[in-house]
């Protein structure tokens, strides 16, 4: 029934239901029984393999939709509309949970959200899901960050004026910007007021918080990300020593920035090096925090 049976849990209830769906399809029941068990849908290759016939000869049942791939040469995925809506709801719930736990952050990037919501989803299905949610306005993008429509931060007039003074100072600080206490002292403002404005700017995607009370201008984060990508492509790879030397920072600060990139989805730690995540929204020409 299934030439690609899993190595484990072959007698699990879900597996047995899947095989029943395959059997019903082969007995002339159409794709409906099979798709009912395929919560992540089935791509054209899997459909052809299971049915033993070209996809063009298979009639999509009522209530099923084709998900087009981003790449022209990619395979389409057939999924029931009810399953598709359930996947969209799971992504929205994962974002809501993230916002609740980290209300001051702008949101996760796509790769991190995928690990939170649908780690088993194929790449083509995941990208189609994100595209669909963004087209509907159910999920919004701010540079690499994704967030729900209600997760925004409005600045009052006085806050906007303070932000206009703070952002140039952060940009001028380059890779070693002033701490909150230093900004507050320079502006003659209470630390908590400066901190509150910077947290709102963080949610708007205009700054990034590397560690507590240390915020970087988004353009400097983009430069640091590009530098990390370049170092990761070299034979010695991306590590704290190489990043320290390239940025001119101390070892402690270099590690803090690399850990920030690990958290936000650009890299992942592998022993003493940091390797790039190929699905990170940081990657690609012109993609950075914005």
HEC string of the chain equals CCCCCCCCCCCCHHHHHHHHHHHHHHHHHCCHHHHHHCCCCEEHHHHHHHHCCCHHHCCCCCCEEEECCCCCCCCCEEEEHHHHHHHHHHHHHHHHHHHHHCCCCCCCEHHHHHHHHCCCCCHHHHHHHHHHHHHCCCCEEECCEEECCCCCCCCCHHHHHHHHHHHHHHHHCCCCCCCHHHHHHHHCCCHHHHHHHHHHHHHCCCEEEEECCEEEEHHHHHHHHHHHHHHHCCCCCECHHHHHHHHCCCHHHHHHHHHHHHHHCCEEEECCEEEECCCCCCCCCCCCCC
Q: What is the pLDDT of residues 101-114, one digit of tens each?
A: 988 788 888 888 99
Rounded Cα distance between 142 and 120, Å, is 25
CA angle in degrees (0–180, nearest 5) for 167-168-170: 65
Task: Write down the mean pLDDT value for the chain.
Answer: 89
pLDDT of 283 reads: 63
The pLDDT tens digits for 61-119 are: 899 999 988 877 778 899 999 999 999 999 999 999 999 998 878 888 888 899 999 99
Whether the predicted pLDDT of 289 surpasses 60:
no
Distance CA 112, CA 150 (A): 20
Considering only CA atoms, give the Rg of the chain. Answer: 24
Reported for 230-236, long-range contacts at CB under 8 A and 24+ positions apart, including other chains, are 232/267, 232/274, 232/275, 232/276
Which residues, 6 or more positions from 54, have their beta carbon under 8 angstroms from its beta carbon?
48
Lowest mean pLDDT among 15-29, 178-192, 208-222: 15-29
Percent of the chain beyond pLDDT 90? 56
8 Å CB contact between 224 and 239? no
pLDDT at 281: 65
What average pLDDT does the segment 151-180 reach? 93
Distance CA 127, CA 264 (A): 18
How far, in Å, CA of 86 to CA of 39, rounded?
A: 9
Tell me the pLDDT band of 290, cut-offs 50, 70 and 90: very low
For residue range 193-229, what is the model confidence (pLDDT) as tens digits? Answer: 999 999 999 988 899 999 999 999 999 999 999 999 9
> Please, which pLDDT band fits residue 286 given cuts at 50, 70 and 90?
very low
pLDDT at position 288: 37
The stretch 226-255 carries a mean pLDDT of 93
Q: Would you state the pLDDT for residue 158?
A: 93
């Amino acid at each position: 029934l299934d030439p690609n049976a899993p190595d484990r849990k072959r007698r699990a209830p879900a597996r047995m239901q899947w095989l029943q769906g395959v059997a019903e399809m082969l007995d002339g029941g159409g794709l409906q029984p099979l798709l009912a068990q395929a919560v992540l849908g089935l791509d054209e290759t899997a459909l052809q393999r299971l049915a033993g016939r070209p996809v063009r000869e298979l009639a999509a049942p009522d209530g099923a939709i084709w998900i087009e791939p981003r790449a022209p040469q990619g395979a389409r995925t057939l999924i029931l509309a009810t399953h598709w809506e359930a996947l969209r709801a799971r992504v929205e719930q994962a974002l809501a949970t993230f916002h609740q736990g980290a209300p001051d952050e702008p949101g996760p990037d796509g790769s991190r959200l995928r690990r939170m919501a649908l780690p088993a989803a194929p790449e083509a299905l995941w990208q189609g899901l994100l595209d669909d949610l963004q087209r509907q306005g159910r999920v919004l993008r701010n540079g690499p960050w994704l967030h729900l429509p209600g997760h925004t931060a409005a600045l009052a007039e006085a806050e906007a004026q303070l932000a206009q003074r703070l952002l140039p100072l952060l940009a001028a600080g380059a890779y070693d910007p002033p701490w909150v206490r230093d900004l507050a002292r320079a502006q003659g403002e209470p630390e908590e007021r400066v901190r509150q404005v910077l947290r709102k700017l963080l949610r708007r995607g205009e700054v990034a918080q590397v560690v507590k009370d240390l915020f970087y201008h988004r353009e400097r984060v983009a430069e640091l990300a590009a530098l990390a990508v370049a170092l990761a492509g070299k034979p010695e790879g991306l590590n704290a020593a190489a990043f320290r030397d390239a940025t001119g920072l101390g070892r402690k600060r270099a590690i803090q920035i690399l850990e920030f990139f690990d958290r936000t989805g650009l890299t992942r730690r592998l022993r003493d090096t940091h390797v790039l995540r190929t699905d990170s929204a940081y990657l690609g020409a012109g993609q950075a925090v914005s």
